[in-house]
């Protein structure tokens, strides 16, 4: 799937001067000098789109944008997905999911425990996410890092025995796979209504997917949402998944993002899995997330 058609104003927008600076480690790049409060012309957008495909996660520094500006920029890449937990959507902006540990009047204002297990956003949907954008609103003075693991590298370097074991196989994904685990104690996790449960029924995707834009293969399983490998006995399935998970998050595959004020981080859920490292509960953390719909994995 290619990026969405630009808005009419983008065609006439003035060019911007910005630098795409790859990180020295496994994955990722930062984009310096771009102002997302301004319209992005087609040529500049093409550079951004290319950087996202090449580096899998791009960090736009110091973006003091409004929720609507985040939504508008996200829509350049495709249709936006609305999260099933509607109680955590930003008022008047349902395209934005609030990710936060802040409690007001005895209730979380946002999803307080997002990302405690490695996962690819919305892999539990028939059309999983192309990518997610997370914009820093309030950051803690310590902790709060986000880790990203390159699943193309994980596949490229998979031992031959594991490669043969998973080629051609599919796996089941479920939003509720770990919903009630004790790792979430202390965070308010609402009981899903029958309507919400219907929106997150189990789906099946290939264990190894092909990226629709760059053509590369990537592992597409995660401890957060993958429940089993279809067609294998339970013990064999779990053993194989455990080995895949361990291999996916080897240090050489990982970029650890240490948040700076007003960072906007945009990652490719077709190429990466990610993990929230967490922060002390008494330190406030709030971010706004938009999620772009992708294609059915193949």
- Catalytic center residues: 119, 121, 274, 289
Q: To the nearest 10°, report the CA torsion of 276, 277, 280, 284.
A: -30
Distance CA 280, CA 101 (A): 10
Q: Tokens at residue 217, please?
A: 């293969």
Q: Is 41 helix (H, G, I), strand (E, B) or coil?
A: coil
Distance CA 286, CA 162 (A): 39
Element containing residue 164 per DSSP (H, E): helix 160-166
Return the closest-CA partner of residue 4 out of 38, 36, 37, 48: 48
How big is the chain, counted in residues? Answer: 298
Q: Is the dihedral of CA 280, 281, 283, 288 positive or negative?
A: positive
What DSSP character marks residue 56? S
Alpha carbons within 13 A on the beta-carbon side of 153? 20
Return the closest-CA partner of residue 247 out of 147, 163, 182, 164: 163
Quick one: how far is CA 259 from the chain centroid? 15
């Amino acid at each position: 799937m290619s990026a969405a058609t630009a808005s009419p104003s983008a065609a006439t927008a003035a060019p911007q001067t910005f630098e795409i600076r790859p990180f020295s480690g496994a994955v990722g790049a930062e984009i310096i000098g771009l102002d997302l409060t301004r319209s992005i012309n087609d040529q500049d957008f093409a550079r951004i789109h290319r950087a996202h495909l090449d580096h899998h996660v791009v960090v736009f520094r110091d973006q003091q944008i409004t929720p609507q500006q985040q939504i508008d920029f996200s829509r350049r890449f495709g249709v936006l997905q609305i999260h099933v937990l509607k109680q955590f959507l930003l008022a008047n902006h349902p395209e934005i999911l609030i990710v936060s540990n802040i409690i007001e009047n005895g209730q979380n204002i946002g999803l307080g425990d997002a990302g405690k297990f490695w996962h690819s956003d919305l892999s539990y949907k028939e059309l999983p996410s192309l990518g997610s954008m997370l914009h820093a609103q309030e950051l803690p003075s310590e902790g709060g890092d986000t880790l990203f693991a390159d699943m193309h590298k994980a596949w490229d370097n998979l031992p031959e025995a594991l490669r043969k074991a998973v080629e051609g196989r599919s796996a089941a994904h479920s939003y509720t796979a770990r919903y009630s685990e004790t790792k979430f104690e202390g965070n308010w996790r609402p009981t899903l209504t029958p309507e919400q449960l219907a929106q997150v029924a189990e789906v099946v995707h290939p264990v190894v997917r092909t990226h629709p834009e760059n053509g590369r293969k990537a592992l597409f399983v995660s401890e957060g949402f993958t429940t089993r490998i279809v067609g294998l006995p339970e013990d064999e399935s779990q053993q194989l998944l455990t080995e895949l998970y361990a291999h996916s998050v080897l240090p050489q595959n990982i970029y650890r993002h240490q948040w700076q004020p007003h960072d906007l981080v945009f990652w490719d859920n077709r190429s990466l899995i990610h993990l929230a490292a967490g922060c002390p509960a008494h330190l406030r953390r709030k971010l706004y997330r938009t999620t772009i719909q992708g294609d059915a994995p193949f």
